[in-house]
Structure 1
Amino acid sequence: MRIISLICVFCMACGGGDSDSPTTDGSDQDVIQEDTGPTHKSTGARAYIIDSDDDIGQGDYVNARIGDFLIANDHVRFVVRGGKHNFYMQGMQGGGIVDVGPAEDDLIQEIMPLGGFSSLGDSTVTVTKDGEDGSAEITVTATMISIPLIEAFAGDFGAEGTMTVKYRLSDSDTALEVGISTDSLDTVMGGVVMFAGGPLTLSSFDGYMISEGPNISYGFVSETPLNITTLGNVNLALGQEITGDEEWRYWLTVGNGSMSSVLDQILSIRQDPAGTVSGTVDDATAVIGAYNADGELVSRFRPNSNGEFSGKLPVGIITLVAEGKGRETGVSVEVDVIENSDTTDLQLSANKPATLEVTTDMPMRIEMTTTTGGRIVQPISAGTSTIPVTPGQWSITAMRGFEYEIDTLDITLEAGQNESWAPKLERVLDTTGWIASDFHLHSEWSTDSNVPLRDRILACAAEGVEYAVATDHDVVTDYRPFVLESLKGRIVVASGVETSTAKWGHINNWPHTVNPDLPGRGSPVWFGLDFPETMNAVGAGSPGHVVQINHPRRGSSALLDNILFDPEDPDLEQLKMFTFNAIEIYNGGDTEAMELALVDWLTMLKHKLPIAATGVSDSHSIGSYCGHPRTYVQVDDDDPATAKGPDVDNAVLAGRTLATSGPFLTLVKGDNGSVQIKVSGPSWMPVETIQLYEDGVAGTPIDVAAYDGNVVRFDNAVSLENPDAAFVVAVARASASAAPMLRAKVRAVSPALWLKKE
């Protein structure tokens, strides 16, 4: 009414009562509206549906959308997924938590409530208390369904009924209270599963768990002890059995990145006997570890800029020690923590780390080892990078994949010593016309990896990989926002997915576009599909779309093992279903599986199936090097500054792929029934034999001479044993190790060279 009144007053002031004034439809007139202020509360406890980007924020792990639900106060902030789809794991609906903490610090992918092996089916999310009375609440009511992923692999263990989840927060709370109840006739176990980003480090304790990140930390605690299981970036916490009208409650606490900031809240919620300790450390960049009488970690403090620390600890004898990356453990201080007491003025001393300052003009991998088993693997970008190092004797190697010579340094570093090094790497292989690619990579968006996205891309560039395809398990990942500025022009990235089926093995497929409104960000859904339906779901046959069968001879996750494919006597009906267009010949360092997959691929070629052979790293960590093995793809534009992903993909579809864990191997048609084979490798790379396969039949291995100062190890015409062969493939091998330069034993498989047009 006040807005209408203001408009009327405005019209009157403009002469609206003058009968001689012209009349209009109002389209040319200014309309004054009252400023009613914020649509929602901006302080204190509050809950509402997000209707503005201002409530979403910016951050690497922000998953909120307009239409999701915010519950927050002046201390903490949480976003609950709305709509008919959950976010991360496929097959469930809205009602889980997708953001926790300030948007710029958030590291949560999704937190889903559990009732035994059941979670959220058809769900309704509502604001049941908006916070006007100082208390906010969001209620989720959902049909309980068996978690599709668990059902696909292990059968239906889900309970029937309705699950109710209540998220509660008052004005003064620093933790979100979550209550789970069901009307199921079955007794179910209340629980929660958290999918989180790679920077989080998880520790589990006596019935609770804490995750530490760079600027934020999380804790899960219940009134009863939690049974905690961790795999990669998946954290599962099971609580107590729920029967009848009972409600199981847990609290999600948020801290400043330190374990101690979360433990303070956990001890208060559990009302555990605790005391407070405080003190200073002489190096504010150290952390303070707190250990119980059994040597188990209890807490970690992060001092402020003045070296001061304080916080709660459980009662008992606690040992405090200054520690940190590259530091030898400092002198310990023992404290007898007494309930409700304060132990103050503790003084700790931290040992200084040694540091290695590396300056380079290109990305590279620095690998450092000691005689006592110490190992550091550090990808670095161009410029100067500082690596903290524990004092001692170190053997250091700088390297950049298969096309470069290496540089080495042996050094003894003392505490506090800073040593500079500028390694020089010479590119010695000519791979013009080919782009180095890795089509199987995992990051923090896979349930079994915790590599942050920026680190994943840097690790690939450091190995000389020029085209990297994201293939996380059942989640579409977009690398593009995470390419460091210093890497632009050095690497091309694409979004893909590893569709990880229970029956048909694992299948990489790309390119994809991230769709944040669908589970798995638009990943293909495979539950309950037969093989042709699965091929259709992953896009087999779509123009420009690569569908790659992964590790085809690796047990339960291998298609060819699962369907009992016999390359010596292939089932023609099976071959008709092979609508994929690529197959991993060499995955990681598994040479036994590689030799089996090679025979499978040759059989497919004999039956004229247009399938490319690839080499992939399947890297899940920084230590399992990206691009080891890799696929060189023959393209018109091999410059990563200008190359286009779709052009590389189409070259894969055309079969122009070299799968290799080291040597650069080419094969071309020669004269008079021969082929020309050329094998190159840096001085450190072993190459021992070359073998031709004519129409899939193995020929006699040919010895390759040791490195004699020429990177071209073999460049000769080889006569074919079968002049009528339709196609030929060359394979290079070596049994010698080349660690740390190579992750895998040397194998290189050329593209199929078709000698006859038909």
Structure 2
Amino acid sequence: MMTSMRPALVGAALVATLGSCTPTTEDRASARVISDLGDAIGGPKALAGPGDFVLENGRVRVAILAATNPDGSERHSPGPHTRAGSLVDADLVLPDPDHRRGRGTDQFAELIPTGNMDITYTADPTSVRILADGSDGGPAILRTEGPREPFITLLDALWAITGAPDFYMSTDYILEPGKPWVRLETTYHYGPDAPYTDVVPEPMGASDHGMPLLEWALETGVVGGDFYLSGGSVDVFAPGIGFDEDGAVARADNTFDVPFQFPFVAGTANGVSYGIAPAEGDAYVPLFTSSQTVVVGAGRAGDPTDRDRFPDGTALRYDRYFFIGHGDIGSIVDQYVEVRGIPYGTLSGHVLEAHTGLPMSGANVFVYEPGAEAPWSQLGTDVHPDDDIPDGSFEGRMPTGDWEVQAHLEGRPVSARIPITVVEGEAIDMSLVLGRAGALRFEVRDEMDQRVPAKVTVMRLDQASVRNPLLGDGFIGGSPAAVAFSMYGEGTMELPPGRYQAIASRGPEYEIDMSEPFEVDDRSGADIELVVRRSVQTDGWISADLHVHGVASHDSSVTRAQRVGTMVAEGVEFFASTDHDYIVDYAPVVEELGLEQWVQTAVGVETTTIELGHFLGFPIGVDHLEEAGGAFDWTGARPAEMLDALRARGQGVGHDPVTFVGHPRDGILGYFDQYGFDPYSGTPGRGGAPGTPSVRRPLLSLTNPLLDPGSISWTFDGLEMLNGKRFELIRTPTAPEHEQFACQERRDGALCERPMGSDVNVDVYDFMTRTLAEQQDLIDGKYTLSGEMEGHIDDWFTLLNLGFKFTVLGNSDTHGFTGVESGCPRNFVMAETDDPAFLDDQAIADAVKAHRVVASYGPFVQLWGNGEPIGSELVTTGEVELAIDVQAPTWMGVDRVELYENGTLIQEWEVEDIAVVDRFQTTYTVTPTRDSWYVVAVASDDDMRPVLTPVELPYVELQAVVTEALGSVESVGSLVSPAAPIPRTYPAMPYAITNPIWVDRDGDGFDAPGNPAWLVRPR
């Protein structure tokens, strides 16, 4: 390792580059209304359009949503928020003309000012307006103001208990000439005559030593902050955790009670970066999830005996900065040290390749506090807009003091850390040398010796860690060195020197192939050929993923081409675009990539409400001239209205869409959880008509009129009962299983005395499966199902018993690449052709409506009744011969097969562990004594890594985080039930379930059997 360091005084040229400049005409700030789409910012995440506002100077530009649409109607955020007045777009101003006229690079989702988790109610047309347009040479200022309202109505329920302090919020977005940041000043006004224009606001108060956030927010005072939603295109960074926010959250405990504390929060994207920091003190992050992040920077204790906590006429102000950089964290730190007046020096240099001395453009330079595990800052090479020479150069400011510097580039050995001392006003120039990588070149062919799309997973044989999430490599469960999704069956990977093995896969219809061990070093690579052979016979069926996200969703960064690539590599033959409130069409991308023979697509959408559940549908129409492709505004709509709107989007272009509910037991995002669907009661239907489900309204939904039980709708076609890798949501466990698991959690995995006498630990596989012994115990009343949670399949069984004929679906809900793979799970859908090039999206939708679907994490299961397939309704008074066939590739386990009649397990089969594709075939004769339905489930506790990654970082459920936090608040803790302990980490395991075969004994329409007698409400 060779380095050189040269201290020098910062020259005038450097000051001109990094520091503020004398304002010129080009640097002047301006505020204006967007006149047309060409006047907007644009970019992968851009939301602002005509009628919204732009603040711009010669360096940066941001967009804030207006209070009204151009037609005068109330404006609602098309992003993850609901109200106007939020900052939705942010970008650099670049000289390239291709970057203008609405063709920017915005990749930020949304920033919403908050006080006590409340937001600004911006229904008044004047509640978002320009205060200063910058024409006088001063700052451009835009103000949003209005009374407070809860971000979610769950908070209204809390305010009903603790007493809601009334206040009025006003936020000024201030852009100064020549500055690459926006200053936000939010004032909280207390009293009936707010806002108080003649009162000078007091600074709210900042801290470097912690804040009692929950106490102040819920009981005694006020905390100021922002919902800081970076979005899926931004890789979040914070000093002390680096780029590994997911790992930090997994290791943390009750972050509302003990929030993360950082000097700033930032993130990088392609060509642009973002950050936020209070004007004083540290930033506190009590909520750090993929869907919601809160950054708090100030607070003040009030008078707990005063309902409003502060005297009338009080005005408190919280100031912070929103930074826009040029693609690295260093350009955020440049601004942070300037606005905070922190003494600094400059770090610059080059990153070079060992032996060759070639510049390593694209490498990252990380700066650590001495001995720290995670970096404090990151500087990119060749990222400055004015740097058009790929020479591996980097440059940025650093606070004075001792630091350690290290170069890193994914796929290469990391450099050693070099200690430096930064002195105020001086510069350090250094060269860092990165080790060379070895190249793996691969080809993947099928049994016909044709190259085919495939996934190639590379494992390091000594199990040494190759990827470092702290440094932005991204976490992948199971610790592979690399994963490639090849559209055309060939590719190249860079790997650090070492011994490896590669595994080629193409989804659950194909066998995998493992290479011989191979070695790469810094002077030579390896060439391998792998074969994936189709072994599972699915003639007449296609593999479909009907819940899919890409870059059009605020929480995904996957481009359309990348998403198509993941689908064909995983053997998915049909998928629907279902981005959050955004309609896109993948067909032109598939055609451009030349992949029509492998995959077909449909246009769809996910209507993503904050509190009413998520509703999906396809095929629908896309309107490229409308905002968000023509997605409708669901604000204030009830479920039936949203479902009608989904259907109308399809009917308008000659389609009859299929509609379904996504992940209905996903807490605050779950339709059944929010409305309180009760699986233990209900009135069964007669003569083919559905009955009446039971709804028990949850306490925390009482303040939302849209969650009134009368608003629930059952007019959809399907239910997504398998979602991503949420194996813990598949079934309701028995009470003893859940008690045992809870005991294990309390004892950190130690054996507990199980209520039914077994000393075997319980895991998610026990939750997912039901045995005949357990079924008999339930029938005998020895115990009930758990009352702590409800599983998707058990909900579906109840609805089937009430006479509803919802199609069960399994979809990936994928947002990325490897956390939840495309097609994990998937649907095997009966189709007239299984050639993707000839698939018809309406025919697939019709097949889903007709229940011709098997939802699966891998196994292909077929069920017939008297020779008729799933979805059929037989009319007979006699015996019904059920035929079951299970196929799986030889690398996948199948341990058990379960047969259900009207939700009761009536037969089980243990499957022999043999390496054959035709895993299980049998016939079983039933003689229904009443109208009945039959379903088959297949399961295994086989770990499917490395084909499917295990869940090693727990899913962060927003509702669980909030309820855990509220449990520690004295005034409300007794009213909030803590989240039930459930399995959060586990391998991806084979599981599949068929749709029903119905038997109508008398031919006068299906008379729903009602719930079985053993299904009683848990005690």
TM-score by length of 2: 0.63
- Of 828, 839, 846, the match for 1:632: 828
Indicate how the Cα distance of structure 1 residues 390 and 150 shifts in structure 2: closer, same or farther if over 3 A, else same.
Answer: farther
Give the aligned partner of residue 104 of structure 2. Answer: 104
Indicate how the Cα distance of structure 1 residues 153 and 366 shifts in structure 2: closer, same or farther if over 3 A, else same.
Answer: farther
- Of 276, 288, 297, the match for 1:239: 297
What SS does structure 1 have at the residue aligned with 2:567? helix
- Do the aligned partners of 1:463 and 1:627 also contact (CA within 8 Å) in 2? yes
- Of 217, 227, 230, the match for 1:193: 227
- Do the aligned partners of 2:600 and 2:839 also contact (CA within 8 Å) in 1? no
Q: Are positions 1:209 and 2:265 aligned together?
A: yes
- Distance in 1 (alpha carbons) for counterparts of 2:819 and 2:428: 42
The 10-residue stretch of structure 1 (196-205 or 324-333) with the greater mean CA deviation from structure 2: 196-205
- Distance in 1 (alpha carbons) for counterparts of 2:27 and 2:672: 59
Q: Report the Cα offset of residue 752 of structure 1.
A: 1.7
Give the aligned partner of residue 313 of structure 1. Answer: 398
Give the aligned partner of residue 147 of structure 2. Answer: 144
- Do the aligned partners of 1:141 and 1:162 also contact (CA within 8 Å) in 2? no
Across the aligned residues of Structure 1 and Structure 2, the Cα RMSD in angstroms comes to 3.7
Q: Report the Cα offset of residue 603 of structure 1.
A: 4.0
- Distance in 2 (alpha carbons) for counterparts of 1:119 and 1:419: 56
- Distance in 2 (alpha carbons) for counterparts of 1:232 and 1:578: 29
Aligned AA (2:402) = I
Q: Report the Cα offset of residue 598 of structure 1.
A: 3.7
- Distance in 2 (alpha carbons) for counterparts of 1:329 and 1:565: 54
Give the aligned partner of residue 20 of structure 1. Answer: none
The 10-residue stretch of structure 1 (288-297 or 262-271) with the greater mean CA deviation from structure 2: 288-297
Q: Report the Cα offset of residue 644 of structure 1.
A: 3.5
Q: Are positions 1:548 and 2:660 aligned together?
A: yes
- Do the aligned partners of 1:98 and 1:111 also contact (CA within 8 Å) in 2? no
Give the aligned partner of residue 939 of structure 2. Answer: 733
Aligned AA (2:294) = L
Aligned AA (1:93) = A
Give the aligned partner of residue 693 of structure 2. Answer: 574
Indicate how the Cα distance of structure 1 residues 134 and 560 shifts in structure 2: closer, same or farther if over 3 A, else same.
Answer: closer
Q: Are positions 1:394 and 2:517 aligned together?
A: no
Q: Are positions 1:674 and 2:905 aligned together?
A: no
- Distance in 1 (alpha carbons) for counterparts of 2:677 and 2:425: 66
Aligned length: 712
Unaligned runs of 5+ in 2: 1-24, 69-74, 94-102, 195-220, 240-261, 301-312, 354-359, 383-389, 445-450, 466-478, 685-690, 696-712, 733-767, 770-790, 868-878, 950-987, 1006-1019
- Distance in 2 (alpha carbons) for counterparts of 1:144 and 1:362: 59
- Do the aligned partners of 2:142 and 2:172 also contact (CA within 8 Å) in 1? yes
- Distance in 1 (alpha carbons) for counterparts of 2:564 and 2:898: 34
- Distance in 1 (alpha carbons) for counterparts of 2:862 and 2:326: 55
Q: Are positions 1:60 and 2:49 aligned together?
A: no
TM-score by length of 1: 0.83
1:303-702 alignment runs, 5 A limit: 303-304=381-382, 305-344=390-429, 346-360=430-444, 361-370=451-460, 371-372=463-464, 374-375=479-480, 376-382=482-488, 384-409=490-515, 410-415=517-522, 417-442=524-549, 454-471=561-578, 475-476=581-582, 478=584, 480=586, 483=589, 485-486=592-593, 488-489=595-596, 490-497=599-606, 499=608, 502=611, 508-509=616-617, 522=632, 524-525=634-635, 544-551=656-663, 563=676, 565-567=678-680, 573-574=692-693, 578-587=714-723, 588=725, 589-590=727-728, 592-593=731-732, 594=768, 597-621=792-816, 622-670=818-866, 673-702=880-909
Q: Are positions 1:298 and 2:376 aligned together?
A: yes
The 10-residue stretch of structure 1 (153-162 or 430-439) with the greater mean CA deviation from structure 2: 153-162
Q: Report the Cα offset of residue 448 of structure 1.
A: 6.7
Q: Are positions 1:94 and 2:50 aligned together?
A: no
Give the aligned partner of residue 85 of structure 1. Answer: 76
Indicate how the Cα distance of structure 1 residues 78 and 604 shifts in structure 2: closer, same or farther if over 3 A, else same.
Answer: closer
- Distance in 2 (alpha carbons) for counterparts of 1:657 and 1:754: 14
The 10-residue stretch of structure 1 (698-707 or 389-398) with the greater mean CA deviation from structure 2: 698-707
- Distance in 2 (alpha carbons) for counterparts of 1:542 and 1:55: 31
- Distance in 2 (alpha carbons) for counterparts of 1:183 and 1:520: 38
The 10-residue stretch of structure 1 (544-553 or 210-219) with the greater mean CA deviation from structure 2: 544-553
What SS does structure 1 have at the residue aligned with 2:395? strand
- Distance in 2 (alpha carbons) for counterparts of 1:583 and 1:663: 20
- Do the aligned partners of 2:78 and 2:581 also contact (CA within 8 Å) in 1? no
- Do the aligned partners of 1:217 and 1:257 also contact (CA within 8 Å) in 2? yes
Spell out, residue by residue over 1:190-242, the C-alpha distance to the aligned partner (whole angstroms, 9 max, x if none): 32223233232222244212211121111223321242423226443222248
Spell out, residue by residue over 1:675-729, the C-alpha distance to the aligned partner (whole angstroms, 9 max, x if none): 33322222222234434334444333245455565x3334554433548764433
Aligned AA (1:85) = H
Indicate how the Cα distance of structure 1 residues 702 and 138 shifts in structure 2: closer, same or farther if over 3 A, else same.
Answer: same
- Distance in 2 (alpha carbons) for counterparts of 1:406 and 1:666: 23
- Distance in 1 (alpha carbons) for counterparts of 2:281 and 2:407: 30
Q: Are positions 1:750 and 2:860 aligned together?
A: no
Q: Which is richer in strand? A: 1
Q: Report the Cα offset of residue 318 of structure 1.
A: 0.9
- Distance in 2 (alpha carbons) for counterparts of 1:517 and 1:639: 34
What SS does structure 2 have at the residue aligned with 1:459? helix
What SS does structure 1 have at the residue aligned with 2:847? helix
Spell out, residue by residue over 1:618-661, the C-alpha distance to the aligned partner (whole angstroms, 9 max, x if none): 44542222222211122334443343433322221221111122
Aligned AA (1:495) = G
The 10-residue stretch of structure 1 (265-274 or 42-51) with the greater mean CA deviation from structure 2: 42-51
Give the aligned partner of residue 333 of structure 2. Answer: 263
Aligned AA (1:402) = P
Q: Are positions 1:127 and 2:122 aligned together?
A: no
Give the aligned partner of residue 45 of structure 1. Answer: 29
Aligned AA (1:565) = D
- Do the aligned partners of 1:95 and 1:120 also contact (CA within 8 Å) in 2? no
- Do the aligned partners of 2:604 and 2:616 also contact (CA within 8 Å) in 1? no
Aligned AA (1:197) = G
Indicate how the Cα distance of structure 1 residues 430 and 386 shifts in structure 2: closer, same or farther if over 3 A, else same.
Answer: same
User: Percent same amino acid among aligned pairs?
Assistant: 24
Indicate how the Cα distance of structure 1 residues 60 and 677 shifts in structure 2: closer, same or farther if over 3 A, else same.
Answer: same
Q: Are positions 1:275 and 2:360 aligned together?
A: no
- Distance in 2 (alpha carbons) for counterparts of 1:569 and 1:67: 49
- Distance in 2 (alpha carbons) for counterparts of 1:624 and 1:238: 31
Q: Report the Cα offset of residue 256 of structure 1.
A: 1.5
Give the aligned partner of residue 30 of structure 1. Answer: none
- Do the aligned partners of 1:584 and 1:613 also contact (CA within 8 Å) in 2? yes
Q: Report the Cα offset of residue 268 of structure 1.
A: 1.0
- Distance in 2 (alpha carbons) for counterparts of 1:67 and 1:136: 21
Give the aligned partner of residue 163 of structure 1. Answer: 169
Aligned AA (2:676) = I
Q: Report the Cα offset of residue 290 of structure 1.
A: 1.0
- Distance in 2 (alpha carbons) for counterparts of 1:575 and 1:511: 31
- Do the aligned partners of 1:453 and 1:482 also contact (CA within 8 Å) in 2? no
